[in-house]
Every structure is written in C-alpha cells, then in structure tokens.
Amino acid sequence: MVFVVLIAISAVWVISEIILALWKHSGTPDAKRQDRFSLGYLWLVISLSVTVGNVLRWWGIGHVRVDHHLLYWLGMLLILLGLVLRWIAILTLKRFFTVDVAIFSDHQLVNRGVYKSIRHPAYAGSLLSFVGLGLAFSNWMSALVIVIPITLAFLYRIRVEEKALRSALGESYARYALTTKRLIPFLY
C-alpha cells in the first residue's frame, strides 16, 4: 500500500511536468527565448539524481533507522504541498509561465499572490517536492543525492531567469527583487 501511494503521486507529478513541457513551451514568435540550456540541464540533473537516489534506496545504502513510516508520510505531504505551491504559482503567472526561460514583448512583472513573498514559488514548490521525495525514501544518502544536485540546478536556473527578467523589466524587477526573497520567505 505504501509503495503504491508513492508510485501514484510520482506518476501524477511526472505526468503534470510532461504536460507542462508540451503545453507551456515558449514556441511563439512573440517570445524571446533566453533559456541558456537551463531547462535541459535541470531535466538531466533531476533524472540522474532521482535515479541514483532510487538505486541507493533499493540497495539500502544510507537507510534511516528511525520510524520510516513517519518519514514516508511526511515526505508524501511535502511532495503534495510542493505540487500545490508549484501549480498555484503557474496559474498566477498565467500566460507568462513557460517551461523555458522566455520573455514576451509585453512581459509584465507579476507580484501578487504567492509572488508577494517569494520571486520563484514554482521552483520553491518543486524543491519542496524533491525534499519530500528524499524523506519518503527514508534514506539519508538518497535524500542528499536528490536534494543537493537538484537545488544547485535550480539555483543556476534562477540566475538565468533573473538575468533575463532584469534585462527585460529593468528597474521594476530590481525593486521587486529588493523586497522579496528568492525561494524561502524571510530567509532566502
């Protein structure tokens, strides 16, 4: 039963990301793509990290000896909360959300909803889900192999995106960046 829940939630997660990749790509003439291979890099790091984390889990290397059911269900909760945060962020941005970094000719700063507190809530949601996956595996090695490289890949992606937004939106984005944190309200 426990394994089935993880598979079901993971399937919803992966399918939603595939649908986003197909549906929200900046393939319109109105969008200026500035991705700098950050999307491909992110997918590569995520695929490798989750695969290696899964292998470590199955081999039992780094297994946590505390109540693994508690970690598992906490992990499932974080995955779901992360997915909800990501989708709220995506729906708040509406047409300005793309899976690749792109700037539209009429691009506007969105600073309402979850964007009042943090500049990258969709990435924060994804990272929260990956932390949850690491916890659900009840394996400290898996958690490290999943969370650290994926976080570094998202930080690269954030640098690429912020450079594009600063270039396109100028002073309004600079002011917004001074009043909000990147990923974690009040911290970072």
Per-domain residue ranges for the chain?
31-179
The C-alpha atoms of residue 76 and residue 6 are separated, in whole angstroms, by: 7
CB atoms within 10 A of CB 178: 7
pLDDT of residue 29: 52
* CATH code, 31-179: 1.20.120.1630
Whole-angstrom distance, CA of residue 50 vs CA of residue 48: 6
Pair type for strands 102-104 and 31-33: antiparallel
Picking from 43, 48, 45, 39, the residue whose alpha carbon sits closest to that of residue 160 is 39
pLDDT in tens, the chain (188 residues): 677 888 889 888 989 888 888 776 666 555 556 777 888 899 999 999 999 999 999 998 888 877 778 889 999 999 999 999 999 999 999 989 988 898 888 899 999 999 999 999 999 999 999 999 999 999 999 999 999 999 999 999 999 999 999 999 999 999 999 999 999 998 99
CB 139 within 8 A of CB 155: no
What is the per-residue burial (b if ≥16 Cβ within 10 Å, else e) of 95-113?
Answer: ebbbbbbbbeeebeebeee
User: C-alpha angle with apex 157: 156 to 161, nearest 5 degrees?
Assistant: 120
Q: Which two tokens stand for residue 144?
A: 């490290």
Radius of gyration of the chain (CA): 17
- In angstroms, the CA 188 to CA 182 distance is 6
